[in-house]
Amino acid sequence: MTTTPTPGTQAPEDAAADEYLRLDRQICFSLHAASRAFNGVYRVVLKELGLTYPQYLVMLVLWERGELGVKKLGEHLRLDSGTLSPLLKRLEAAGLVRRERSTADERSVRVRLTEDGSALRERALLVPRRIGAATGFDLAEINDLRDRLDRLTQALDSAALNPATLEETP
């Protein structure tokens, strides 16, 4: 007959192992919680621009890169066309972007900023400063965190492409 140990009677090695399964010990949850907190701050800051956070990301890419195909835009944002299309539709309805089918390839849709979309960039210049101030980090800390998160993303992308790296090691 096996018995389930009560929390106070676990063997020390079991208690140490259980520590790793605590929610507050999970890096994925820390990133998730930080992302949700960022979204809350962005919601407030972007309200005056009339943008949601995902729409803001689309605008950032277009301000930086200019006219792009939907596929390329999705690559920059790490979004598929099923997620991106409704965003673009709302931005187009707001008069910030224009979508046009390519004359060379009817399957391809190009996205470009309208005059209003380009003009919105000036008002958006304060967004990074306001977000930075909300973090309480100085510029060096923000840059360091971004660099670390970029490295983490690359490592996780690599691990997803090579599942053997996810095998348990002795």
Per-residue model confidence as pLDDT tens digits over 43-82? 999 999 999 999 999 999 999 999 999 999 999 999 998 9
Model pTM? 0.83
In whole angstroms, give the CA distance from residue 97 to residue 89: 9
Above 60 in pLDDT, residue 1?
no
Reported CATH class of domain 30-125:
mainly alpha
Phi–psi pair at 6, nearest 5 degrees: -80, 160
The whole-number pLDDT of residue 35 equals 96
- Each residue's pLDDT tens digit, 153-169: 999 999 999 888 888 76
Mean pLDDT over each residue of the chain, to the nearest integer: 90
Amino acid 139: pLDDT? 94
Residues 6+ apart with CB under 8 A from 28: none
**CA–CA separation, 77 vs 71, rounded Å?**
10
pLDDT digits (tens, 9 = 90+) for 14-34: 667 788 899 999 999 999 999
